[in-house]
Chains A and B, each alone.
Chain A
Amino acid sequence: MPLASEELTVGEMLLRHGISRRGFIQFCTATATAMALPPWIGAAMAEQLRQARRPSLVYLSFQECTGCFESLTRSFSPTIESLIFNVISLDYDDTLMAAAGDNAEAALAQAIKDNFGKYVLVIDGSVPTGAGGAYCASGGRSAVDTLREAAKGAAAIVCVGTCSAFGGIPLADPNPTGAWPVTAIVGDKPIINVSGCPPIPEVITGTLLQFVSTGKVPDLDEHLRPKAFFGNTIHDRCYRRPFYDEGKFAKSFDDEGARNGWCLYELGCKGPTTHNACATIKWNGGTSFPIESGHGCLGCSEPGFWDKGSFYAAQSSAEWGKAGVPSPRRTLELSGAAVAAGAVLGVASAGISRLRQHRSEGSSDP
């Protein structure tokens, strides 16, 4: 399959693969329903996409664990994944492409030149700036330079995964590689953060499809995440919420509460402060999601979630002990020292007051 994109429209490309217009309408309608988009968008999306020039896509992987890519390619319904790659001409992806070495570099340069200003740049993984970017380099060029280069011609940048969106685990304290999120490096391009560690496959494909078909950046929240998927917290959409409201909480991972599927708030669930679509779209084709499997949400789609204290400390615990959870001993130390200081001031104040008072001993006033 020639990787360089030709002047084919999406419709023509699909026909080449024996995917008729009606077949494509079926796919778009199914995707729209899965993404809880308005039903008429499916057909409209199909029409627009078929006329659209096949959008070019450059997929750059930097300091990442390939978890996001696995999540995308392992996505449960192969038809969606294969269609995605037929719809979009994947011009560069060092994991999938056959070429290697100089040919791969040449292919990247070629893809950027051919579709300058029109391709979608997908970044996977954080961008290390430590040691001049030496922590992540390929073909002698550091990730930072590659990113800046590729970003110049990008129509938009989609950061897949918490690493590219917020720095993820590489950025976690002590951040040895000086990892930065893409937003810290590229400022002049529209950026869409599809955070999650990894993000839900349907969220990645949904966001790409929505951008490609409409050509416009969707509504984003203050962390530049599409509101369609990151608008609500897990807590607000969680099927165990009635238990939270009724005050039924699991106290340990194997107690009666856990077995009855009660709320995992006391076991450190970060659902209340985590924005993602896990509770609605769920994982593995709608089979389940972390809370449904009995483990609290880790808050993986939130910035710095690695450093927000223990995953098993309750959401509302104070955040200043070791491992983010204070203990009675630390509270005692802090308040003890403060009381001692206060006592000194108290004695001083009383002393000052008594000095100013009459020397009239034996005063009868209480």
Chain B
Amino acid sequence: MSRLSDIPIRSESRTRIEPPPADGGLGGGVVAILSELVSLLGRLVDTESPGAIDLRSLPMSAMDRAALQKVLGEGEVQATVTAQGLSRVRETGVSGVWWVEHFDQQGEMVAELIDVSRVPAILTSATDEIAASARDLRAQLIAASPREEKHAARQ
């Protein structure tokens, strides 16, 4: 009787991934992404509307990914966000282009994007959150200060 482990489970991606050309030029996949980035950046400048490219939905070989990182380069900002899961945001050498990775609580990567924006939405704070935290801060001030500061704080 064949054992369960004998049944091969292979789920290769159906589309064939072309290896990058030997002469160090950019693979077809990378060229496509870069040209889309150019149009997204153009749109960001013209209409202030941000965009993103979902890397996981594209067939990318490791070589393509390395080539893309080499072209985009490193920026000055690295940030990690620990909220529901962990997210790493790195600015690339191309300003306005950010490399964003999201991980769930088990450390599994759930999403990987190239974000085209002034700053990825996940980093900025929202106005309602600011208002709420401002209220909380004032409340703490009132609770912690002696009588006269309470009077000054009310102005």
Q: Report A-B touching, CB under 8 Å.
A: yes
Q: How far is the CB of A59 from chain B (nearest CB, A)?
A: 25
> How many A residues touch B, CB cutoff 8 Å?
37
Q: Are B6 and A22 in contact, CB atoms less than 8 angstroms apart? A: no
**Residue B111, interface by CB 8 Å:** yes
**Residue B65, interface by CB 8 Å:** no
Query: Given contacts A79-B84, A239-B12, are A29 and B129 in contact (CB under 8 A)?
Result: no
**Residue A294, interface by CB 8 Å:** yes
The residues of B that contact A257 with a CB separation of less than 8 Å are: none
Q: Are B50 and A40 in contact, CB atoms less than 8 angstroms apart? A: yes
Chain B residue nearest to A237 (CB atoms) is B14
Q: Are B113 and A29 in contact, CB atoms less than 8 angstroms apart? A: yes
Chain B residue nearest to A37 (CB atoms) is B54
Q: Are A23 and B83 in contact, CB atoms less than 8 angstroms apart? A: yes
Q: Chain A binding site: helix, strand, loop or mixed by DSSP?
A: helix
Segment 31-45 of A: residues with Cβ below 8 Å from B: 32-34, 36, 38-40, 42-43
Q: Are A259 and B83 in contact, CB atoms less than 8 angstroms apart? A: no
**Residue A260, interface by CB 8 Å:** yes
The residues of B that contact A254 with a CB separation of less than 8 Å are: 2
Query: Given contacts A36-B57, A79-B84, are A29 and B102 in contact (CB under 8 A)?
Result: yes
Residue in B83, B84, B111, B132 whose beta carbon sits within 8 Å of that of A33 in the complex: B111
Query: Given contacts A23-B84, A40-B51, A288-B9, are A29 and B126 in contact (CB under 8 A)?
Result: no
Q: How far is the CB of B2 from chain A (nearest CB, A)?
A: 7
Q: Are A292 and B9 in contact, CB atoms less than 8 angstroms apart? A: yes
Q: List 11 A-B contacts (CB under 8 A).
A: A11-B128, A22-B81, A23-B85, A25-B122, A30-B111, A33-B54, A38-B54, A239-B14, A259-B6, A261-B8, A292-B9
Q: How far is the CB of B139 from chain A (nearest CB, A)?
A: 16
Chain A residue nearest to B86 (CB atoms) is A26
Segment 1-56 of B: residues with Cβ below 8 Å from A: 2, 6-12, 14, 50-54, 56
The residues of B that contact A11 with a CB separation of less than 8 Å are: 128
The residues of A that contact B57 with a CB separation of less than 8 Å are: 33, 36, 39
Q: Add 6 more A-B contacts to A30-B104, A32-B111 (CB < 8 A).
A: A23-B84, A33-B56, A39-B53, A43-B50, A47-B121, A260-B8
The 8 closest A-B pairs by CB, nearest first: A23-B84, A23-B83, A39-B54, A30-B110, A39-B52, A22-B83, A33-B111, A43-B121
The residues of B that contact A27 with a CB separation of less than 8 Å are: 84
Q: How far is the CB of A202 from chain B (nearest CB, A)?
A: 12
Q: How far is the CB of A37 from chain B (nearest CB, A)?
A: 9
**Residue A20, interface by CB 8 Å:** yes
Query: Given contacts A39-B113, A292-B11, are A24 and B84 in contact (CB under 8 A)?
Result: yes
**Residue A227, interface by CB 8 Å:** no
Q: How far is the CB of B59 from chain A (nearest CB, A)?
A: 14
**Residue A77, interface by CB 8 Å:** yes
**Residue B155, interface by CB 8 Å:** no
Chain B residue nearest to A289 (CB atoms) is B11
- Residue of A20, A47, A292 ringed by the most chain B CB atoms within 10 A: A20
**Residue A215, interface by CB 8 Å:** no
Query: Given contacts A21-B126, A39-B113, A43-B121, are A26 and B53 in contact (CB under 8 A)?
Result: no
Q: How far is the CB of B134 from chain A (nearest CB, A)?
A: 15
Q: Are B104 and A79 in contact, CB atoms less than 8 angstroms apart? A: yes
The residues of B that contact A32 with a CB separation of less than 8 Å are: 111
Q: Are A77 and B53 in contact, CB atoms less than 8 angstroms apart? A: no
